[in-house]
Amino acid sequence: AVVSTQSTGIANQQSDGCKSFRKIDNLANIKAIGAGSSHAGAVNGNGEVFLWGNNKDTQVCPKKTAMIGKPVKLTGLNTVNVVQFYIVQIACGEGFTLCRTADGRLYSW
């Protein structure tokens, strides 16, 4: 029997060790997704990037918050305003995130 469910940002971890489905709210018109070991990202039809999950290495956002439980829109990274470019692809690794623009530029953090 499942006693409790804990959200890890990516999936719900049940007390029996199994993961259950988790609906990701506030996302629509998703065209691309990426998943790392403990964070995930999505790109919508407007080229906007949303990230959530473990932020230990600031792979989700530059703030020093350890866990980002709900998707946050990427609005900028240091002095580069990533949102000014139309993002078409996202990849999430162990402690980093990559995005590719429609014109072939690659951004990493």
Tens-place pLDDT, residues 19-63: 667 778 889 999 999 999 899 999 999 889 999 998 888 888 877
* Cβ burial 29-48 (10 Å sphere, 16+ → b, else e): eeebbbbbebbbbbbbeebb
Q: Is the pLDDT of residue 107 over 60?
A: yes
Cα 1 from chain centroid? Answer: 31
pTM score, whole prediction: 0.75
The mean predicted confidence, pLDDT, of the chain is 79
Query: For residue 98, what are its two tokens?
Result: 């990559």
Query: Residue 1's pLDDT is what?
Result: 38
Q: Which amino acid is at 49?
A: V
Residue 69: CB atoms within 10 A of its CB come to 11
| Residue 53 tokens, joined | 């999950």
